[in-house]
Structure 1
Amino acid sequence: MTDCILEQLKSQPSWILFLLTLGFFSTLKFSLSFLKWVYVNFLRPGKNLKKYGSWALITGPTDGIGKAFAFQLARKGLNLVLVGRNPDKLKEVSESIKSKYGSTQIKNVVVDFSGDLDDGVSRIKEAIQGLEIGVLINNVGVSYPYARFLHEVDDKLLSNLIKVNVEGTTKVTQAVLPGMVERKRGAIVNIGSGAAIVIPSDPLYSVYAATKAYVDQFSRCLYVEYKKSGIDVQCQVPLYVATKMASIRRSSFFVPSTDGYALAALRWIGYEPRCTPYWPHTILWALAYSLPESFVDSWRLNFCLGIRKRGQLKDSRKLE
């Protein structure tokens, strides 16, 4: 039967053979990509994070994704350095973690990333002196209160976006890296955003998206710089997660809870330099890439204009 098929193929015009060959390799490529997607999302085991070091440092740990990361890392047996601006919330989170994971050691460091950042970083350096910081989660970040055009962004918000999202992430990483380099091991996770990578543009959130694009490129460069030093650097790219920043209260299949996201995120630490840990988000990513950019731009603009209108309405009610 095989000989018969080969004879039939030989009798076909060369252009048909070319198309068949092209189709075969295209199908093979798609099949291998799909099998890889299944493996990394459902079968690949997470790394033993304690091998990086016994402590993890998390910025922005009092709410949202950062808080979920803190609980998940404590569950994995790591001690925690929690860096946030509100001492009362830091204490509350620390006590909640200790009540659930009693053996976890926790250090709280009060830093306002929109304030005196140099002083805050000095306090971080002092707090981590002598500690094996094996995992760094750069989670702290700010966004717009609601969508707005660039000329509507006031100086304070503009300064905070750049200072917290760009300067804060950079300086905290710079503070933690020397210890990792000395021990020749460590994992750095920077929280990016689909607004900077998945969609071609994020109108009315331009500065936020640009700061997250910085985080993505910063992460990739560090991944190359420090890979041979035993340090794994990664930019995680979540899409919508049910958080206060996203103004989403309820989770769904495509919008995970913060706990659902963090649980998925831990399995990816130490692997690819850029990833989308929550697998349903990869479906949305593939959909966005399959559509014309002009269509996605138009849809996103109309969506953000709706957010802007609702935000302006809320502001006007507050003034009444």
Structure 2
Amino acid sequence: MATSIWFVLLASLGAAHVVTTVFRLTSLLSFGLRRPKDLRRRYGSWAVVTGPTTGIGRSMALELAAHGLNIVLVGRDPAKLRDVADAIVRSHAVQTKTVLFDFSLISTVQGEKAMAALREAVEGVDVGVVVNNAGVVRPGAMFLHEADVEALVRMIRVNAVALTEVTAAVLPGMMERGRGAVVNIGSGSSDTLPSFPLYSVYAGTKAYVSVLSRSLSVEYKSKGIDVQCQVPLLVKTNMISDAVKNVFLPLFLVSPEAYAREAVRAIGHGRVCVPSAVHRLQAAWSILPIPEFVVDSYRLRLHLQQRGIKSSRSPHTSQDRLLDYQDVGRKTS
């Protein structure tokens, strides 16, 4: 009798686990069936995009303009900002503004001046959407004790502190109008993987973005403001090295343009989402009952391989290698 009770209990637990897994898989894979929102009508006529000059940021800015939104472009390179602004105006009947902002200087005197310029640019403007895209992935493919600490501090400033300050700057206007959408670009390194060795600080900043987005979503939902963390996996940009590209099948690499189309359609649907259909297929494995130590071991071997390739191609001194890694860009994993 006791054996029968234990059998029924274990069978029930197993069935519940299967049902839960199937439900999560179905929800993940069917996400793209949701109808996109009319962003201008639902949220407002302007969008703020950070890191808009290359990769995901540039494609998101152009895609939002295609949906009829005017764009505030926030980045550190004036020539590249003018280039993307010109591209938007040529292709779409919308307005643009540009704000010079090196996010690695956030919380400094220079950063405060740039923050004041951003607040001035959005004051009295019907900002309906903000896309916090600017991010730093380097230094990466190295152990923590090998990295230049100041470079890691800059990464934290860009990926976490700047995103927080930009969001805080646009929320008062959204609350006053009773509508808005905050889109924070996260990463599969923190939302679909148990660990991301040799990129630990990067993954940590993206975990902050995810948790912040979930909590802000609860805080501001009743105010008419949707806060969302979008989770890209591998996107084909210049920030992905040949070493990484050669490891993964081309099918797994999504173009920035393709990602942006699906990302804009996903705005307002869910606190945390994986907009790309290709990425959802890749992320589906994370729901399956694979032991974490197996994933951890595979990731460590993969990143050690990347570290070896980068080291063999880098200058001879460790300091030169560190300098190679210290640029701002957009690479998500």
One-letter amino acid of the structure 2 residue matched with residue 304 of structure 1: H
* Matched residue SS, 2:251: coil
Change (3 A) 1:18 1:289: closer
Look up the match of 2:228: 234
One-letter amino acid of the structure 2 residue matched with residue 230 of structure 1: G
Counterpart CA distance in 1 for 2:270 and 2:168 is 21
Counterpart CA distance in 2 for 1:163 and 1:18 is 50
1:60-209 pair list within 5 angstroms: 60-101=51-92, 103-115=93-105, 116-209=110-203
Match of 1:288 among 286, 289, 298: 286
- Cα offset, 1:20, TM superposition: 9.0
Percent of paired sites with the same residue: 45
Counterpart CA distance in 2 for 1:216 and 1:297 is 21
Match of 2:256 among 235, 255, 258: 258
Counterpart CA distance in 1 for 2:297 and 2:16 is 35
- Cα offset, 1:144, TM superposition: 1.5
Q: Which runs of 5+ in 1 are unaligned?
A: 1-12
Please provide the CA RMSD for this pair: 2.5
One-letter amino acid of the structure 1 residue matched with residue 36 of structure 2: G
- Cα offset, 1:30, TM superposition: 6.3
- Cα offset, 1:29, TM superposition: 5.9
Q: Residue by residue, what CA displacement relative to the aligned partner does 1:119-141 show, whole Å, maximum 9, x if unpaired?
A: 21111001111111000000000
Counterpart CA distance in 1 for 2:190 and 2:18 is 31
- Cα offset, 1:155, TM superposition: 2.5
Counterpart CA distance in 1 for 2:145 and 2:12 is 54
The alignment of Structure 1 onto Structure 2 pairs a total of residues equal to 305
* Matched residue SS, 1:77: coil
Question: Conserved in 2, the CA contact under 8 Å of 1:117 and 1:168?
Answer: no
- The answer to which structure, 1 or 2, has the higher relative contact order (CA under 8 A, 6+ apart) is 2
Question: Conserved in 1, the CA contact under 8 Å of 2:29 and 2:281?
Answer: no
* Matched residue SS, 1:267: helix
- Cα offset, 1:47, TM superposition: 0.7
Counterpart CA distance in 1 for 2:22 and 2:292 is 26
- Cα offset, 1:32, TM superposition: 5.5
Counterpart CA distance in 2 for 1:228 and 1:153 is 43
* TM-score, length of structure 2 as denominator length: 0.84
1:300 aligned onto 2:299: yes
Counterpart CA distance in 2 for 1:214 and 1:14 is 44
Larger Rg: 1
Question: Conserved in 2, the CA contact under 8 Å of 1:146 and 1:311?
Answer: no
One-letter amino acid of the structure 2 residue matched with residue 140 of structure 1: A
One-letter amino acid of the structure 1 residue matched with residue 104 of structure 2: S
One-letter amino acid of the structure 1 residue matched with residue 315 of structure 2: S
Question: Conserved in 1, the CA contact under 8 Å of 2:229 and 2:271?
Answer: yes
Q: Which runs of 5+ in 2 are unaligned?
A: 321-333
- Cα offset, 1:179, TM superposition: 0.2
- Cα offset, 1:37, TM superposition: 4.4
Counterpart CA distance in 2 for 1:268 and 1:311 is 35
Look up the match of 1:45: 35
* TM-score, length of structure 1 as denominator length: 0.87
